[in-house]
Structure 1
Amino acid sequence: MKKSSVVPAASVAVLLLAGAVGCGKGDAQSPEMSPAAAVAKAAENADAITSFRYRMSGTVPEQGKVRGEAAMSVKPLAMSMKMTVEGGTDSGEMEIRLVDKALYLGGGAEAAKEMDGKSWIKFDMSGADGGQGGDQMGAGQARKNPAADSTFLDGSKDVKKVGTETVEGVRTTHYAGTVTLADLKASLSGKDQATREKREKSIDEYDELGVDNFTMDLWIDGEQHTRQFRMRGDADKGPLDMTITFLDVNKPVTVVAPPAKDVADLEEMMKGAEG
């Protein structure tokens, strides 16, 4: 199989699986609540999310501009994402589905040309390490709850209120601040084990990218849920500038595996190569 945009784009998509938070319909955040308290409350609410749908756009290191929409269920774990990458060496459209402990990467007609008519690649995710080399491509990171990224501003020492703005028809209060990885790690002190583990995984991901500090904007609605956030930082291989907008939360998410006739199983492909 020739190298195509199918596999490299997977790591981009997984990276973009970040920041699932609530989407309330209330008025703007109460001005009586301090910026630090408002951000902390939104982070607390994010930890309770069980499913969500969101839109993303921005720039990812090495890949250029990206945009897409995704939906994810935390329990049971399932995810679907459609995205477009522009301006990088792996430009093109990509679809990902995570269901029944298997990760499917869809490359459409272009992938089918390279895989005897198969437009999807299947990775077994049942193993501890993601299986079949999935971790090497970033697929293993799809296991984590992406709500953790939206909580990063809770570790800021200079969070401030910017003003009130409307996001997706909902009045919100806009907060902003800077945060370092050291601040994030320190903010985990006193958190319960489940919360700490979720956030640690997300922190480690950015540590591997070489992003030491962020500028972050957070838009919180009147129910103290984050409606949108923007994260900016300089990674080892280029700038990161991503905006996540949340469309709904805690609603049913159904993900169906692609038709078997359209799927190339990586395990079978590897056995064939060995033979």
Structure 2
Amino acid sequence: MMFSVRDTTMRRATGATLAALLLAGGTAACTSSSDGDTKAKGAAKDESPRMEPAAAVAKAAKNSKDITSLHYRLVGTVPEQGRVKAEASMRMKPTVAMSMKMTALDQGADGTAEIRLVDKAMYIGGGPSAAKEMDGKHWIKFDLGALEKSGLGGKSLGAGAGQADQNPAQESTFLTGAKDVKKVGTETVEGVKTTHYTGTVGVDDIRASLKGEDKATREKREKSLDQYTKMGVEKLTMDMWIDGNDHTKQFRMKAAADKGPLDMTFTFLDYNKPVTVKAPAASDTMDLAQMMKGAQNG
């Protein structure tokens, strides 16, 4: 295999990996409940008319802390990747695992990929064209821990590796820092009656608000904020659709980044259900670390 082909494959996979991690890490505000399901659509109680917008958002954000797994759908625009759509299942406890099928709509035949995160490794699976560039193998493996320590994956994979272990519900707390949270109205999302709230918040303001948090919480949220800073994002416009049980049914974040707009809408389908992710067969997988080592050796 020529180095130029390897390099092309690596760059494609790097872009897909970073986008996947961003999407997973940005899965904001999915929440948990005692019954672990939102299927009781008609039973959801109406929001109290006396609840102020800021209080409603804060309550939904607080409910996100106990989430263990989620299933969501995504549509939006990601800097450098363009338009994307995806559907994913992710487990946060007891160990992190994710399975995502993603399509980059502006990248033609090479824009569809399946991403699996399991056992601290990320796997990217493409179609027949990818297999032609990888000696017939359909998957490429990224050992995130090893790449982060060695720097072999460069800045993009380093950022991705740093985001891989993040609870995707973290960003749900960010809208609580907005000073202009307001109620937009009531809307039905996936058959569920919700109340729509919106607001804007600066990344620096979010970072400053973390001073009162405990060390562990502060470090986790700062790591998430670092991803936005690296993209050149200064402020976020955020929308939350909260159901009658104070759970976020849908979430949208918009921002101007250095390399294009960030605009992602997540719709939460279910949560706190078992999520099992299996690694692809080793015989059908090419290890990035071995690819890089071979390239460096000529």
Equivalent position of 2:170 in the other structure: 148
Give yes or no for the alignment of 1:12 onto 2:34: no
More helix by share: 2
Alignment partner for residue 190 of structure 1, among 212, 215, 234?
Answer: 212
Give yes or no for the alignment of 1:22 onto 2:31: yes
SS of equivalent residue, structure 2 residue 279? coil
Equivalent position of 1:82 in the other structure: 101
How much does 1:198 deviate?
A: 2.5
Aligned residues of 2:29 and 2:173 also touching (Cα < 8 A): no
Give yes or no for the alignment of 1:61 onto 2:61: no
> TM-score if structure 1 supplies the norm length?
0.92
Aligned residues of 1:164 and 1:171 also touching (Cα < 8 A): yes
Equivalent position of 2:143 in the other structure: 124
Work out the CA distance in 2 between the residues paired with 1:182 and 1:139.
21
After superposition, the Cα gap between the structure-2 partners of 1:132 and 1:200, relative to the gap in structure 1 and judged at 3 Å, is: closer
Give yes or no for the alignment of 1:170 onto 2:192: yes
SS of equivalent residue, structure 1 residue 253? coil
How much does 1:88 deviate?
A: 5.0
Moved more, 129-138 or 179-188: 129-138
Query: 1:224 corresponds to which letter in structure 2?
Result: D
Aligned residues of 1:27 and 1:170 also touching (Cα < 8 A): no
Work out the CA distance in 2 between the residues paired with 1:144 and 1:198.
7
Aligned residues of 2:181 and 2:200 also touching (Cα < 8 A): yes
Equivalent position of 1:50 in the other structure: 68
Moved more, 51-60 or 138-147: 138-147
Work out the CA distance in 2 between the residues paired with 1:165 and 1:220.
10
Work out the CA distance in 1 between the residues paired with 2:248 and 2:217.
17
Equivalent position of 1:237 in the other structure: 259
Equivalent position of 1:219 in the other structure: 241
After superposition, the Cα gap between the structure-2 partners of 1:101 and 1:130, relative to the gap in structure 1 and judged at 3 Å, is: farther
Equivalent position of 2:160 in the other structure: 139
> TM-score if structure 2 supplies the norm length?
0.85
Residues 30-88 of structure 1: per-residue CA shift (max 9 Å, x gap): 22211111111111111221111111101111211000011111121111111000225
Aligned residues of 1:124 and 1:130 also touching (Cα < 8 A): no
SS of equivalent residue, structure 1 residue 146? coil
- Percent of pairs identical after alignment? 59
Residues 148-173 of structure 1: per-residue CA shift (max 9 Å, x gap): 12322111001011111111111111
Residues 1-22 of structure 1: per-residue CA shift (max 9 Å, x gap): 2514333121111111122512
Moved more, 7-16 or 248-257: 7-16
SS of equivalent residue, structure 1 residue 46? helix
Work out the CA distance in 1 between the residues paired with 2:72 and 2:203.
25
Aligned residues of 2:88 and 2:100 also touching (Cα < 8 A): yes
The answer for unaligned runs of 5 or more in structure 1 is none
Equivalent position of 2:123 in the other structure: 104
How much does 1:139 deviate?
A: 3.1
Give yes or no for the alignment of 1:203 onto 2:212: no
Aligned residues of 2:15 and 2:81 also touching (Cα < 8 A): no
After superposition, the Cα gap between the structure-2 partners of 1:134 and 1:110, relative to the gap in structure 1 and judged at 3 Å, is: same
Aligned residues of 2:115 and 2:124 also touching (Cα < 8 A): yes
Aligned residues of 2:31 and 2:61 also touching (Cα < 8 A): no
SS of equivalent residue, structure 2 residue 152? coil
Aligned residues of 1:45 and 1:225 also touching (Cα < 8 A): yes
Please tell me the root mean square deviation across aligned C-alpha atoms, in Å: 2.1
SS of equivalent residue, structure 2 residue 48? coil
Aligned residues of 1:58 and 1:243 also touching (Cα < 8 A): yes
Work out the CA distance in 1 between the residues paired with 2:109 and 2:149.
23
